[in-house]
Chain A
Amino acid sequence: DQQVKQNSPSLSVQEGRISILNCDYTNSMFDYFLWYKKYPAEGPTFLISISSIKDKNEDGRFTVFLNKSAKHLSLHIVPSQPGDSAVYFCAARRISSGSARQLTFGSGTQLTVLP
């Protein structure tokens, strides 16, 4: 049972335009969400996060939106740059649980930003 889903395996966007990556989750116990970026042959790199007490978090060109009622979050990248081309993973964890600290990841979305 996939608790975190990224239904789009790939996305292509023109340089300068907005990239929107989507993520859905099923476990209502998740209350902290993260986005990671991964280049080939490297480990995932933390990008941005959001807790359930917020519906938006912004960091430069990156904004994450959380819709708890829909169990949906999205990552917006504006403007997109060719260096943003990577696989983006959505991840979730339950910070209220003492032992369950692992992240549950989606399957990733390959973003390609075309020059």
Chain B
Amino acid sequence: GAGVSQSPSNKVTEKGKDVELRCDPISGHTALYWYRQSLGQGLEFLIYFQGNSAPDKSGLPSDRFSAERTGGSVSTLTIQRTQQEDSAVYLCASTPGSGGETQYFGPGTRLLVL
């Protein structure tokens, strides 16, 4: 398909373990965003990439969270030493360029930390 894809779709992990979440944006989209949605909450911004650089990391909740993007395409969000409060749906979105207002979202990764 031509949309944003994310993997895995679901992830269950034990507290203290590291997890990696992957996002494949729409081909050609230069801007990529990570959000998370906790139960009953709206989407919370985490980080924004323009190409491979991240000019805005202001939403990352702690230094256990990091993200990278390679080749201007795939992005990986890593959570180290997961905590129960990290349980949420992690959503990725992309836009065609730096000025694009409409963000196209992937289906999300549902993370459950036991």
Using a CB–CB cutoff of 8 Å, the interface residues on chain A facing chain B are 4, 6, 32, 34, 36, 41-46, 49, 89, 91, 93, 95, 99-108
Is B101 an interface residue when CB atoms closer than 8 A count as contact? yes
Closest-by-CB residue of A relative to B33 is A102
Closest-by-CB residue of A relative to B34 is A102
Contacts of A41 in B (CB 8 A): 107
What CA separation (Å) do A89 and B67 show in the bound complex? 25
Residue-by-residue, is B53-92 near A (CB-CB < 8 Å gives 1, otherwise 0)?
0011001000000000000000000000000000000010
Can you name 6 A-B pairs with beta carbons within 8 Å?
A34-B102, A44-B105, A91-B43, A100-B56, A101-B56, A105-B42
| A32 touching B48, Cβ below 8 Å | no
What CA separation (Å) do A107 and B44 show in the bound complex? 10
Query: Which residue of B33, B41, B104 is within 8 Å of A107 (Cβ)?
Result: B41
| B56 touching A102, Cβ below 8 Å | yes
**Would you list the 5 A-B pairs with minimal beta carbon distance, nearest first?**
A43-B105, A102-B45, A105-B42, A105-B43, A107-B42
What CA separation (Å) do A106 and B84 show in the bound complex? 23
Contacts of B103 in A (CB 8 A): 46, 103
What CA separation (Å) do A101 and B107 show in the bound complex? 21
Q: How far is the CB of A27 from chain B (nearest CB, A)?
A: 14
Contacts of A103 in B (CB 8 A): 33, 35, 43, 45, 103
Is B21 an interface residue when CB atoms closer than 8 A count as contact? no
| B4 touching A43, Cβ below 8 Å | yes
